[in-house]
Amino acid sequence: MTDRRTFIKDAALALGGIAIPHGNADAATWESFFQTHFREMDATEKKRVVERLEKEYSEKYKKDITVGVEKAIPGVLFGYGLDLSRCIGCRRCVYACVDENNQSKDPQVQWISVLRFKKGEKWSDLEDSEKYYNPAQVPEEEYFYMPVQCQQCENPPCVRSCPTQATWKEPDGIVVVDYNWCIGCRYCMAACPYGARRFNWGEPGRKAEEINPKTHYLGNRPRPRGVVEKCTFCIQRSRNGRYPACVEVCPVGARKFGNLLDPKSEIRYLIEHKRVFRLKEDLNTNPKFYYFFAYGR
């Protein structure tokens, strides 16, 4: 694959030395322009790219920022459970996610949407939901809540639709995006049935002190403008044996997370013993995100 890259690099440079970016400072611009697809990089190449990105981010935010490339752990397939009988609609998950995953705050980007439904009214088509509810206090007696984020489909329509293979499903089941490969066509957003994908319409804005310095290449590293991003089950945490931020922060324990391949995991227990369903199952996307009711109310 190095051949391919060298070829276009040479071809571009041969275009009459029009090299627009010049000098040392701009070498990184070229590097990033010719950067190959993440899945085609070998270890040394990954190392070089990570070093370049770490330098770039650290200079931009004036603090040390690490970019991990931890691989999927063999024998792990991540699954998520969300207990609708517990969720109180407080949106702490939404904000914990933003804190953890370095989303832009201006313009605002959030990976989790919490939908509010009136009890006793139809909710199958989600159309009667309210995303911007803003009461003085939650939970409200007459409503119930359903948080939605990337469902990490086993059969993801977004991956199928991406024209450049910039988004794919990792061996541990997490659907990721290479922000350096995404061309920003947004076909995946049209394809996603769960409204889980976000586009950086403008330059992501976030104060340096708000940046979470521990990042992963396929997850929460700072994103450029004009690319798509989404929930990765906090890949930078989950691949290091930690819970995603939303699981950790949930004050009522509505969020469960674990290894679907481990018969003794909590997620397996709830799938086997609770009344679970998945969103829009008719589309056969096969989400690894299970909604369930731990108790009736």
Partner 1 sequence: MPAFITNFFIALRQIFIGTKSYYLWVGFLLIPILAGLATYFGQQAPNGLIVTAMRDQVSWGFYISNFTFLVGVAAAAVLLVVPAYVYNFKPIKEIVLFGELMAITAICMCLMFIIIDMGHPERAWHILPFIGMMNFPSSLLAWDVLVLNGYLAINSFVAFYVLYKLSTGKDYNMSLILPLIILSIPWAVSIHTVTAFLYNGLGARPFWNASILAPRFLASAFCSGPALMILLFQIIRKVSDAEIDDRAIFKIAELIAYAMGINLFLLGAEVFKDFYTGSVHAASIQYLYLGLHGYSALVPWIWFATVLNISAFFLFLVPKTRHNFTTLNMACIFVVIGIYIEKGMGLVVPGFVPDTLGEIYEYSPTKTEILISIGVWATGALIYTLLLKFALPIYTGKLRFASSTPQINPKVA
Return residues touching partner 1 (CB under 8 A): 4, 7-8, 33, 37, 40, 107, 113, 115, 124-129, 131, 148, 157, 160-166, 181-187, 189-195, 197-203, 224-228, 283-285
Q: Both tokens of residue 266?
A: 């909590």
Q: Both tokens of residue 220?
A: 């929460």
- CA 49 – CA 218 distance, rounded (Å): 13
CA atoms within 13 A on the CB side of 191: 17
Provide the minimum distance between the beta carbon of 163 and partner 1 in the complex, in angstroms, as a whole number. 4
- Closest to partner 1 by CB, 37 vs 214, is 37
Provide the minimum distance between the beta carbon of 170 and partner 1 in the complex, in angstroms, as a whole number. 16
- Closest to partner 1 by CB, 37 vs 274, is 37
Provide the minimum distance between the beta carbon of 243 and partner 1 in the complex, in angstroms, as a whole number. 25
In this structure, the strands spanning 167-169 and 175-177 are: antiparallel
- Closest to partner 1 by CB, 55 vs 225, is 225
Helical packing angle, 2-14 and 27-34, nearest 10°: 130
Element (H, E) at 149: none
- Closest to partner 1 by CB, 191 vs 271, is 191
Provide the minimum distance between the beta carbon of 57 and partner 1 in the complex, in angstroms, as a whole number. 19
- CA 43 – CA 58 distance, rounded (Å): 22
Provide the minimum distance between the beta carbon of 10 and partner 1 in the complex, in angstroms, as a whole number. 12
- Closest to partner 1 by CB, 29 vs 240, is 29
Pick from 205, 241, 248: nearest CA to 225: 205
Q: Both tokens of residue 14?
A: 């041969």
- State which amino acid sits at residue 245: A
